[in-house]
Structure 1
Amino acid sequence: MRFLKIGLSLLTAGFVTAGVEAAEFELTVPHVTNIESYNHQSLLVFKNFVENHSNGAITVNIYPSGQLCSTARECLAGVQSGAFDYFQTTIPELANYWAPVGAFDLPYMLRDDRVAECVYDNEDFLVDIRKNVLEQTGNLRLMMVSNSGGWRNFATTKKQIKTPEDIKGLKIRTVPAPIQQELVKALGGAPTPIAWPEVYTALSTGLVDGTKNGIVDITMMKFEESLNYIVLDGHAYMGGVWIMNNDRFKSFPDELKRVVIDGIKAQNQFLRVYPKWKEFDAYETFRKAGGTVYTPSAEEKKAFQDATAPVRDYFIKEAGEDGQAWLDRFSSEIKACEGAIDAEFAKASE
């Protein structure tokens, strides 16, 4: 295989038995955002950890800005075929390969970061997801579900959204995934799937009236130059799904598998902290550009939840019994995490 090189040098760090030949691996990692993005920065964390802790047995080659593939679908196809090794995608994009995972992207399911992180840190839960994705794809191995920029909110160019009725008739950019498109339809808008690198132009030319993104993504890509309003409805946690070619992962000796997994854990820590750290600056940047930030009341947020209930019905119809089972499992995991966090709060506030 073109990415696998067998070297004659011996690892001397102590994690490989002395006298055993060391295998040297190259990981090819593309992404479609720029080098200032959190994905790129997180990959530098991964690269630093893996290369140093493997004593140079693993080299991580990062290709930003769509150098090797221009869309998530192209990149995932490359990972599946073995052309690439590691890539970040979204939950709705992964649903194109395994439909039940769409349950995790249904609107207004997760209440906050702590609940989301609790759910996705459940290793038994992740193992079951990984098994099903592998069965469906043959070679896409789920490594983690992290965060990719905070929470999705509706941001618009000409109209402040405060209620579901305000979205009627608006052309809203979505990722090319059914659940996200059905969400906009349920609110009376016109979903317009546009690839990430093309969103800036779509907003600036008026091709769309708004988008569904987190504030960190908005300012990272300078969308505030066109967007003037954002409503913090928080309809979806932006779960970043990191996928590795399964054959490549399995080709590592156990000692290096551990290095890769530990490196991914370090990367996950960065990804989860980044949006929390950057949100303050991002909101300030948005406001300084003339943007207005609106936080809906509890009643207004419930109106959004009620209006988007048909999206869940759509998902169950499309995904069938398997989809219903995974929605039930997801709901159960959420309730368990909410209960544990609420119990912790009760103790801490005594």
Structure 2
Amino acid sequence: MKARVTTTLSGLGLALGISTAAMAAETTMRIAHVNPPETMASNAGALSAVFKQLVETASNGDIEVTIYPAGQLGKDAEAIAQVRQGIIESSISTAGGVAEHYPRIGVFDIPFAFPNIGVASEVISLESEFGQMLAEDIHEETGLKVLGLLDSGGFFQFTNSQRPITSPEDMDGLRIRTMTLPTHEAMINSMGSQATPLAWAEVYTALQTGVADGQMNPIQQTAFAKFDEVQDYLTISNHLITPYVWFINQDFYDGLPEEHQRIIDWASEVAVDAGRAMSRIIEASDQGLPRLAESMEVNTITPEQREIFAASAQPAVRRVIEETYGEEGVALLEAMLSSIEEANAAQQ
């Protein structure tokens, strides 16, 4: 069943309000995302800026790319709804937003499945067989064309205010903030912690006041949100990695001249590479791990402990996937796991 499309009045009104300005261009492609607008501050910022420059230059100005960052047109799910309805042409969206339109994106929530970022980059890509399968399934479910796949900023890591996490026993009793996703809640609860689902806007205050002891996010999101101000311990667990899905309205794309379609196709490939590289740069820069390490105690879970964590968490999440997404979800999960195994074997 297709997800029901909803759009808030505020997002709809703002989207409609921009249409008059767009009419001046022969073709305008509007892209929404929730990340900071600065090119060097986020992968979506870098991706969209590179795409804009390449498309506008290659089309000799026939295509104008307008970017609406920082949630200007609404949250991720709302922006996707606007793309489905043709109000805007494109969005770069997190798995949390995608899940409201395509629930099977939850197969990525199987913990400790990806051994390293190299394998993740190989699998979460339109160049992989699994990536193409995922894009086709998303299209069948939503009617949207997937223009690109990349990770949402790197592996999820744990932070907390109580103690270093080196083994599953250290998770006991910790209240860990999660997104409102059953897979995330099952994973945290299976580790002996208490899943505490909260909206993103509430997380900093919850950590500050002790409503939650910890949270999990990629390094760049943790740094951008300044969670180091209210958290003492950072654990490099690499337990999850989720995709950013870059959508484009299929009717808009089909209505373009073939020459413009080719420009968008190759420019999106280059832009995805730029976004993926920016995530790695941010992680390694003074915007990422080095900055967090100045105010937090950092430790890394050993490979042996990862296996122990996985043994308890993977079955719990797999049960949720089986119960929630059925045979289609299980087939997609198995395809992803096979793709991970093949990519990992190729590195050996």
TM-score by length of 1: 0.85
Residue 171 and residue 245 in structure 1: after superposition, are their counterparts in 2 closer, same or farther (change >3 A)? farther
Pairing 1:106-117 to 2, within 5 Å after superposition: 106-117=110-121
Q: Distance in 2 between matches of 1:312 and 1:275?
A: 28
The Cα of 1:304 is off from its aligned counterpart by 0.9
Letter in 2 for 1:331: L
Whether contact under 8 Å (2:82, 2:88) holds in the other structure is yes
Q: Which residue of structure 1 aligns with residue 27 of structure 2?
A: 25
- The CA RMSD measured in Å over matched residues stands at 2.3
Aligned to 2:140: 135
Contact 2:207/2:230 (8 A) holds in 1: yes
2:346 is equivalent to residue 340 of structure 1: yes
Structure 1 residues 340 and 298 mapped into 2: Cα distance closer, same or farther (>3 Å)?
Answer: closer
For the 8 Å contact 1:101–1:326, the answer to whether it is kept is no
- The SS at the match of 1:308 is helix
Give 1:320's aligned amino acid.
Answer: G
Q: Which runs of 5+ in 1 are unaligned?
A: 8-22, 343-350
**Matched-pair contact (CA < 8 Å) for 1:153–1:214:** yes
**Residue 73 in 1 paired to residue 73 in 2?**
no
Distance between the aligned counterparts of 2:117 and 2:322, measured in 1? 25
Per the alignment, residue 119 of structure 1 pairs with 123
Shift of 1:164: 2.0
Q: Paired residue for 1:253?
A: 257
Are 1:200 and 1:221, in contact at CA under 8 Å, matched by a contact in 2? yes
Q: 1:124 to 1:209 in 2, by over 3 A?
A: same
Deviation at 1:165, TM superposition (A): 2.8
Q: Distance in 2 between matches of 1:292 and 1:177?
A: 28
CA distance in 2, matches of 1:316, 1:307: 17
Is 1:277–2:281 an aligned residue pair? yes
Q: Secondary structure at the match of 2:87?
A: coil
Assess, with a 3 A threshold, how the Cα gap between structure 1 residues 173 and 41 changes in structure 2: closer, same or farther. same
1:92, distance to aligned residue in structure 2 (A): 4.6
Bigger mean CA offset, 114-123 vs 304-313: 114-123
- Assess, with a 3 A threshold, how the Cα gap between structure 1 residues 302 and 124 changes in structure 2: closer, same or farther: closer
Q: 2:37 — aligned with what?
A: 35
1:170-209 to structure 2, matched below 5 A, reads 170-209=174-213
Work out which of the residue numbers 240, 247, 269 in structure 2 matches 1:243. 247
Higher-Rg member (1/2): 1
AA of the residue aligned to 1:296: I
- After TM superposition, the structure 1 stretch with the greater mean CA deviation from structure 2, 260-269 or 166-175, is 166-175
Q: Is the 8 A contact 1:4 1:26 kept in 2?
A: no
3-state SS, counterpart of residue 93 of structure 2: strand
1:58: which partner in 2? 63
Check if 1:97 corresponds to 2:101: yes
Q: What is the identity, as a one-letter code, of the residue corresponding to 2:322? A: I
CA distance 1:194–1:304, shift in 2 (3 Å): same
Change (3 A) 1:178 1:292: same
Partner of 2:54: 49
For these two proteins, the number of residue pairs brought into alignment is: 324
Within-5 A mapping of 1:153-168: 153-168=157-172
Q: Which amino acid aligns with 1:173?
A: R
One-letter amino acid of the structure 2 residue matched with residue 141 of structure 1: K
* Per-residue CA distance 1:230-279 (angstroms, 9 max, x = gap): 11110112322212222222221211111112221122111221222222
- The letter for the 1-side match of 2:333 is L
What's the CA shift string for 1:182-220, capped at 9, x where partnerless? 211222323233333443333333332211111122112
| Aligned residue type for 1:247 | D
Q: Distance in 2 between matches of 1:57 and 1:314?
A: 48
Alignment correspondent of 1:11? none
Match of 2:312 in 1: 307
Aligned amino acid, residue 31 of structure 2: V
Aligned counterparts of 1:118 and 1:192: Cα–Cα separation in 2 = 32
Question: What letter corresponds to residue 57 of structure 2 in structure 1?
Answer: N
Preserved contact between residue 122 and residue 128 of structure 2 (Cα < 8 Å): no
More strand by share: 1
Gapped runs of 5+ residues in structure 2?
1-15
Tell me whether 1:329 sits opposite 2:346 in the alignment: no
Cα displacement (A) at 1:56: 0.9
